[in-house]
């Protein structure tokens, strides 16, 4: 209603309603009116520029409430998605960290297994036993006895005359002496064992023990406890041909 | 002619000074600008129809701007600000189009 009413009226206003009293042309008007028009147009230009800049400056200022609410919803939703994603990534990160713990554990286990299998040189406190057997009376049986006593005493790595003795160690009697792991040994035999020196020395020295066995074979035995015993001999591990691990382990 | 020159000068000044719109005027300025443009188109049409009156132009210019701003203000107070703004813009747009059509007929005789 209002617009219908206003429209023609304003139209006539703008188009100069007082047609009768208005001169035919724009000429001859007062200077003041022209200046006023110029000033108004200047202001209009400034206002247009200001408004355009304002609109470009802030993309939200021209949006309506509904759009703003929708935008806010979208932002909130996006925020929730990102929060969930961050949580997931955090979980992955912690699981990866525990994975690196598992890796560390595996490396420790590998080190342990390498020491036990005799594939790496090792050093540590232990004992060195020199067995001088000029008559060649020491038998493989005695050597095995010595090795078993060392193992009972908790020796973690054992070597005799440059031969690393592991779970697959073997002693046999050869024509010129004892053969260890297929390597012929010659007197004097030098045993090196890494473990608790006191425990090992006591275990070897008990009556009827390993050292007594050597002495019974007319060999002279010299045992020294050391803070640092180095075992440099290693063995080549052969790939198991028949035995495979049971899959059930985790 | 003087209006066009004034408009150009105003745009140049605006670009140079780079004025910022006061917060209180922000809702009213776009509508006021549209109203002023409507008055300007009406003036051009009147000029072409040889019925231009500067007094009427100045009055209608100021009055249209004030009315438009007042309508927006009223709409804001009544809680229908955006709708009333849209209504004012639509009405002014229609008027601009009809004025532009008259101008076109005068210039191109078609």
State the CATH number of the domain containing residue A199: 3.30.70.1880
Measure in Å the smallest separation between the Cα of A11 and chain B Cα atoms.
Answer: 7
A80 band by pLDDT with thresholds 50, 70 and 90: very high
Write the ipTM.
0.79
| Full domain range(s) for residue A129 | 118-231
* Number of domain units in chain A: 1
pLDDT digits (tens, 9 = 90+) for A162-199: 888 888 888 888 887 888 888 888 878 899 999 999 99
Residue B89 is assigned to a structural domain of this protein: yes
Residues of A151-179 as b/e, b for ≥16 C-beta within 10 angstroms? bebebbbbbbbebbbbeebebeeeeebbb
Contact predicate B42/B60, CB 8 Å = yes
Residues of A with CB under 8 A from a CB of B: 3, 6-7, 10-11, 13-19, 22, 24-26, 29-30, 33-34, 36-51, 53-55, 61, 64-65
pLDDT digits (tens, 9 = 90+) for B42-93: 888 888 888 888 888 888 888 888 988 888 888 888 888 778 888 889 999 9
Across the interface, whether the CB atoms of B10 and A41 are under 8 A apart is answered yes
Residue A88 has pLDDT above 70, yes or no: yes
Contact predicate A161/A185, CB 8 Å = yes
Q: Using CB atoms, which residue from A7, A36, A45 is nearest to B9?
A: A45
Quick check: helix, strand or coil at residue A227?
strand
Residue A185 is assigned to a structural domain of this protein: yes
List of E strands, chain A: 122-132, 157-160, 163-165, 171-174, 177-180, 183-184, 189-194, 220-231
What is the pTM assigned to this prediction? Answer: 0.43
Contact predicate A15/B49, CB 8 Å = yes
Residue B87 is assigned to a structural domain of this protein: yes
A13 band by pLDDT with thresholds 50, 70 and 90: very low
Residue A178 is assigned to a structural domain of this protein: yes
A22 band by pLDDT with thresholds 50, 70 and 90: very low
Contacts of A30 in chain B (CB under 8 A): 54
Residue B13 is assigned to a structural domain of this protein: no
Measure in Å the smallest separation between the Cα of A19 and chain B Cα atoms.
Answer: 6
Residue A180 is assigned to a structural domain of this protein: yes
A16 band by pLDDT with thresholds 50, 70 and 90: very low
Residue A18 is assigned to a structural domain of this protein: no
* Number of domain units in chain B: 1
Across the interface, whether the CB atoms of A42 and B10 are under 8 A apart is answered yes
- Concatenating the DSSP letter of every residue in chain B gives -HHHHHHHHHHHHHHHH-----GGGTTTHHHHHHHHHHHHHHHHHHHHTT---HHHHHHHHHHHHHHHHHHHHHHHHHT-HHHHHHHHHHHHHHHHHHHHHHHHHHHH--
| Full domain range(s) for residue B87 | 23-108
Q: Which residues lie across from A173 on neighbouring strands?
A: A178
Residue A227 vs residues A127, A128, A138: alpha-carbon distances, Å: 8, 11, 28
Token pair 């608790």 is found at A196
Across the interface, whether the CB atoms of B60 and A14 are under 8 A apart is answered yes
Residue B86 is assigned to a structural domain of this protein: yes
- Give mean pLDDT, residues A14-25: 41
Across the interface, whether the CB atoms of A46 and B19 are under 8 A apart is answered yes
Residue B45 is assigned to a structural domain of this protein: yes
Residue A77 is assigned to a structural domain of this protein: no
Residue A112 is assigned to a structural domain of this protein: no
């Amino acid at each position: 209603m209002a617009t219908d009413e206003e429209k023609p009226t304003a139209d006539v206003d703008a188009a100069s309603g007082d047609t009768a009293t208005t001169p035919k042309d724009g000429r001859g008007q007062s200077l003041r009116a022209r200046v006023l028009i110029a000033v108004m147009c200047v202001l209009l230009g400034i206002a247009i520029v200001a408004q355009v800049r304002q609109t470009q400056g802030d993309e939200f200022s021209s949006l309506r409430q509904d759009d703003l609410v929708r935008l806010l919803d979208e932002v909130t939703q996006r925020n929730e998605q990102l929060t969930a994603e961050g949580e997931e990534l955090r979980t992955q990160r912690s699981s990866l960290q525990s994975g690196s713990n598992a890796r560390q554990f595996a490396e420790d286990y590998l080190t342990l297994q390498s020491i036990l299998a005799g594939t790496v040189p090792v050093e540590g406190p232990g004992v060195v036993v020199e067995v001088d057997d000029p008559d060649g009376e020491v038998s493989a049986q005695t050597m095995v006895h010595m090795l078993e006593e060392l193992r009972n005493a908790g020796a973690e790595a054992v070597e005799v005359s440059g031969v690393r003795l592991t779970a697959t160690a073997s002693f046999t009697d050869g024509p010129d002496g004892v053969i260890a792991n297929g390597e012929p040994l010659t007197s004097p035999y030098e045993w090196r064992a890494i473990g608790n020196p006191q425990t090992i020395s006591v275990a070897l020295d008990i009556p009827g023990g390993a050292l007594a066995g050597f002495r019974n074979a007319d060999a002279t035995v010299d045992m020294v406890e050391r803070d640092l015993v180095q075992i440099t001999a290693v063995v080549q591990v052969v790939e198991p041909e028949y035995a495979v691990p049971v899959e059930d382990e985790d | 002619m003087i209006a066009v020159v004034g408009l150009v000068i105003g745009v140049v000044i605006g670009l140079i000074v780079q004025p910022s719109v006061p917060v209180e005027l922000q809702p009213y300025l776009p509508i006021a600008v549209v109203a002023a443009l409507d008055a300007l188109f009406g003036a051009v049409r009147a000029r072409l129809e040889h019925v231009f009156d500067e007094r009427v132009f100045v009055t209608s210019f100021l009055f249209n701007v004030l009315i438009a701003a007042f309508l927006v203000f009223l709409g804001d107070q009544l809680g229908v600000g955006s709708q009333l703004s849209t209504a004012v813009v639509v009405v002014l747009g229609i008027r601009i189009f009809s004025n532009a059509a008259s101008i076109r007929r005068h210039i191109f005789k078609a």
